[in-house]
Structure formats: structure tokens, C-alpha cells
């Protein structure tokens, strides 16, 4: 193997940077798309459920039932929009989607409370959106439990045998954005890196410059690394932009070491850029390379990385497949760095996974490019 030359490597990197500068669309996509995607996904993807439209069918009409309704209303999770007077109104409201939940308070509600007996209350929930329905049920149970623990009737509190005091670590307010935005960093970088570099080598073939490049003494590894370096610099800037936007716009805490974040990001970006170049070298077509890059990056990085769905709750087969999805490791690393402030002592497994991804990505790119310039 010829000895690698830093001079030739720098010349290749400079040549690729000039291509990027002349292509205003690629340059705009490289810097503007990550910021736009963070803002769009950060606001659009949320698991926070608030202002659940609720109807109340109060058959008790007592101070106790009104206090219970006020507890639901003041929680911030439920918005009481209707007061019902007949149970025949319940079905049409849920069918039309006018409300997500109907709280039914029976006539003997206050009587049971006065006797310190269990007072059943019914919550009818629209299960069309299973996620919202399950969260609404959990909220309703928590509010009812809290109300029972603080209600005082006839001078004596209701018996509550067990009281649970909970405390949430790392994401105290349970904000979806604190979980989503660090994960988006991995997904966006994976998609963008593969898309940008998927065009590089294919562009050389379509423009007829590959033959000139093949005639030079530049080694195939120098070609790959030279084309990769400018995009690695762009990716580093994008990482900083995403992190700053997450902190400023979405108030995502950053408790870890920024240098460790950048080191893991460089490993991840190297692998993603290498995969893009492998696709570009294998297809020799910008159109095919773009389509293939989207299929191989967007779906796995969104569905099998743990960004939105807990991997442990997936079928075993999908859990095994997710082990080869590199975004899985970077998402775990970014959440650990941002929210928990942990370092290599905890995230060494994720760092190792991304290092393997970087080696594999570069190796595939060099292997695919070898036959074309040999």
C-alpha cells in the first residue's frame, strides 16, 4: 500500500470543500436543515399530554363532587369543557371526538365519603389514541388518589393505608423535549450525513471527473478521507447548533462534558459519512444514492433507535435488529451526557459501538471505492 500523504489528503479535502461552496443547495441543507429539523421535531414530537378535553356527568351535585371536579380542573392536565345532564350524551361526545374523557360521579358519592367507604368514580376514556388514553387514565387515578388523601369529612381524614412519595431524577418536569431533542441530534446527523456524502462519489461519476481522479497518484483512502473531512467539519458545527438550540429554545439541561459529547459525535459522524460514501460508490448515481441513503438511515434511526419507542418493549426480533442500528448508541450517549452528566465510565459501551460503526463505515467506503480507481 502506498504511503499516505498529508499533502494529497489536504488537497482532496480542499477540492471537496470547493465543490460544497459552489453548490449552494448542499451548503444550505448542511447548515439550515439541522436547525429547522430540531425546531420542527422539538415542537411537533411530544409525549406531554395536557388540556385533555373532559366532560363531567355529576350526579351527586354536592360540595364533595365539586371539589373533585375542581381537582381535575386545577391539575392542568384536564380541561372541563362540558357539564352533562344525561348519560345519553356520553356516547355521541366520545364518538365525535368532542371530548377525550367523561368523568361520571355517582349520586351516592358524598354518602360513601361520609362513611369513610370507597367511593367509586367512573372515567370513560376514548381509546382511539391509546397513548393519550393510558396517560389520561394514569392522571385521573393520581388526581383521585391525591383527593382522597386530602379530603376531610366529619373531622376525620379518609384512611389511606399507603402513600407513595415519588421523585423523578434527571428530567424532573418529565418534559418530552428533554428526552426528544438529544435523541434528535443522532437522528438528524445520521440522515444528513448519509445524504450529503451519498452524492460525493456518484457526482464524480456523473460529471465525468472520476477518470481524472483515478489517473492521479492519490490513494483510495486519501480520497475517502479527503472527501470526508469537510463534511466532518460541517457536522461538528451542526452538533453545536443543535445543542445550543436545545438549551436556548427548549431549555434542555446540559450536565455533561462538551468535549466528550464532541468526541462521541465525531465517531458517530465518521461512521455515518462513511456509510454515505459507501452508498455513493456502490450506486454511482446521485438519484439512487439519495433514495437508498434515506431508506437505510431515516427508518432505522427513527423506529429502531429508541428515539420515540422504548426498545425493551419491542419484540425480541426487533431488539436484536436494533443492535446494528448505530443511532441507538449515539442516542443513549447524548441523553446520558445531556441529562445525567455521565462520561466514559458509564457510556463506554456506547462509545465502543460508535467506534466499531466508524471503522465499518470507513472500511466499506474504501472497499467499494477500490475497484473503481484500481
pLDDT digits (tens, 9 = 90+) for 229-250: 888 888 888 899 889 998 898 8
Tell me which residue range forms the domain holding 222: 6-46+175-373
- On the question of pLDDT at 344 being above 90, the answer is yes
Query: For 199-236, how does the pLDDT look when each residue is reduced to its tens digit (9 = 90+)?
Result: 666 666 666 666 566 666 777 787 788 888 888 888 88
Give the whole-angstrom CA distance, residue 267 versus residue 351.
8
- 140 vs 299, residue with greater confidence: 140
Whether residue 331 sits in one domain with residue 186: yes
Query: For 1-60, how does the pLDDT look when each residue is reduced to its tens digit (9 = 90+)?
Result: 456 677 887 887 887 788 777 777 767 777 787 888 888 877 777 766 778 899 999 998
Query: For 250-283, how does the pLDDT look when each residue is reduced to its tens digit (9 = 90+)?
Result: 888 899 999 999 999 999 999 888 888 888 777 7
* Pairing mode of beta strands 152-153, 156-157: antiparallel
Q: Is 133 exposed, middle or buried, given 0-12, 13-18 or 19+ CB atoms closer than 10 A?
A: middle
Whether residue 38 sits in one domain with residue 65: no
Q: Is the residue at 169 inside a domain?
A: no
Whether residue 182 sits in one domain with residue 110: no
This prediction has a pTM of 0.76
- 357 vs 50, residue with greater confidence: 357
- On the question of pLDDT at 373 being above 50, the answer is no
Mean per-residue pLDDT for 346-358? 92
- On the question of pLDDT at 374 being above 80, the answer is no
* Pairing mode of beta strands 101-105, 156-157: unpaired
Res. 157 pLDDT band, cuts 50 70 90:
low
Whether residue 38 sits in one domain with residue 181: yes
- On the question of pLDDT at 154 being above 50, the answer is no
The 3-class secondary structure across the chain, one letter per residue, is: CCCCCHHHHHHHHHHHHHHHHHCHHHHHHHHHHHHHHHHHHHHHCCCCCCCEEEEEEECCCCHHHHHHHHHHHHCCCEEEEEECCCHHHHHHHHHHCCCCEEEEECCCHHHHHHCCCCCCCEEEECCCCHHHHHHHHHHHHHHHHHHHHHCEECCEECCCCCCCCCCCCCCCCCCHHHHHHHHHHHHHHHHHHHHHHCCHHHHHHHHCCHHHHHCCCCCHHHHHHHHHHHHHHHHHHHHHHHHHHHHHHCCCCCCCCHHHHHHHHHHHHHHHHHHHHHHHHHHCCHHHHHHHHHHHHHHHHHHCCCCCCCHHHCCHHHHHHHCCCHHHHHHHHHHHHHHHCCCHHHHHHHHHHHHHHHHHHHHHHHHHHHHHHC
Q: Is 337 exposed, middle or buried, given 0-12, 13-18 or 19+ CB atoms closer than 10 A?
A: buried
Q: What is the percentage of the chain residues whose pLDDT exceeds 90?
A: 18
Whether residue 75 sits in one domain with residue 33: no
Q: What is the pLDDT of residue 58?
A: 92
Q: Average pLDDT of the chain?
A: 81
**What Å distances lie between residue 251 and 40, 181, 245, CA to CA?**
15, 10, 9
Whether residue 143 sits in one domain with residue 83: yes
Whether residue 64 sits in one domain with residue 42: no
Q: Is the residue at 1 inside a domain?
A: no
Q: How far is CA 333 from the centre of its chain?
A: 13
Select from 278, 327, 280 the least CA-distant residue to 307: 327
Q: What is the percentage of the chain residues whose pLDDT exceeds 70?
A: 86
Instruction: Write down which residue in 157, 184, 219 finishes a domain.
Output: 157
Amino acid at each position: 500500500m502506498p504511503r499516505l500523504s498529508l499533502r494529497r489528503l489536504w488537497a482532496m479535502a480542499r477540492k471537496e470543500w470547493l465543490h460544497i461552496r459552489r453548490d449552494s443547495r448542499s451548503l444550505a441543507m448542511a447548515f439550515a436543515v439541522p436547525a429547522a429539523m430540531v425546531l420542527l421535531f422539538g415542537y411537533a414530537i411530544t409525549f406531554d399530554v395536557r388540556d385533555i378535553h373532559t366532560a363531567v356527568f355529576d350526579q351527586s351535585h354536592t360540595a364533595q363532587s365539586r371539589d373533585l371536579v375542581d381537582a381535575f380542573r386545577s391539575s392542568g392536565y384536564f380541561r372541563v369543557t362540558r357539564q352533562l345532564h344525561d348519560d345519553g350524551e356520553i356516547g355521541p361526545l366520545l364518538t365525535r371526538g368532542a371530548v377525550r374523557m367523561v368523568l361520571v360521579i355517582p349520586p351516592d358519592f358524598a354518602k360513601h365519603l361520609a362513611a369513610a367507604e370507597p367511593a367509586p368514580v367512573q372515567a370513560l376514556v376514548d381509546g382511539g389514541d391509546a397513548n393519550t388514553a393510558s396517560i389520561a387514565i394514569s392522571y385521573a387515578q393520581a388526581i383521585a388518589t391525591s383527593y382522597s388523601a386530602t379530603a376531610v369529612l366529619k373531622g376525620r381524614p379518609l384512611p389511606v393505608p399507603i402513600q407513595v412519595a415519588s421523585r423523578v431524577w434527571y428530567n424532573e418536569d418529565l418534559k418530552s423535549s428533554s428526552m426528544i431533542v438529544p435523541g434528535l441530534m443522532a437522528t438528524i446527523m445520521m440522515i444528513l450525513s448519509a445524504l450529503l456524502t451519498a452524492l460525493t462519489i456518484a457526482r464524480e461519476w456523473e460529471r465525468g471527473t472520476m477518470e481524472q481522479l483515478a489517473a492521479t497518484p492519490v490513494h483510495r483512502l486519501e480520497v475517502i478521507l479527503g472527501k470526508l473531512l469537510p463534511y466532518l467539519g460541517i457536522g461538528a458545527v451542526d452538533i453545536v447548533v443543535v445543542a445550543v438550540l436545545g438549551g436556548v429554545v427548549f431549555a434542555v439541561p446540559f450536565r455533561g462534558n462538551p468535549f466528550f459529547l464532541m468526541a462521541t459525535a465525531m465517531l458517530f459522524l465518521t461512521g455515518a459519512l462513511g456509510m454515505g460514501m459507501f452508498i455513493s460508490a456502490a450506486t454511482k448515481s446521485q438519484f439512487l444514492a439519495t433514495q437508498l441513503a434515506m431508506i437505510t438511515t431515516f427508518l432505522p434511526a427513527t423506529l429502531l433507535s429508541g428515539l420515540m419507542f422504548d426498545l425493551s418493549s419491542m419484540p425480541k426480533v426487533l431488539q436484536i435488529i436494533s443492535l446494528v442500528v448505530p443511532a441507538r448508541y449515539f442516542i443513549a450517549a447524548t441523553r446520558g451526557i445531556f441529562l445525567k452528566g455521565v462520561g466514559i465510565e458509564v457510556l463506554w459501551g456506547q462509545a465502543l459501538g460508535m467506534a466499531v460503526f466508524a471503522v465499518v463505515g470507513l472500511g466499506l467506503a474504501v472497499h467499494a471505492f477500490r475497484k473503481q480507481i484500481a
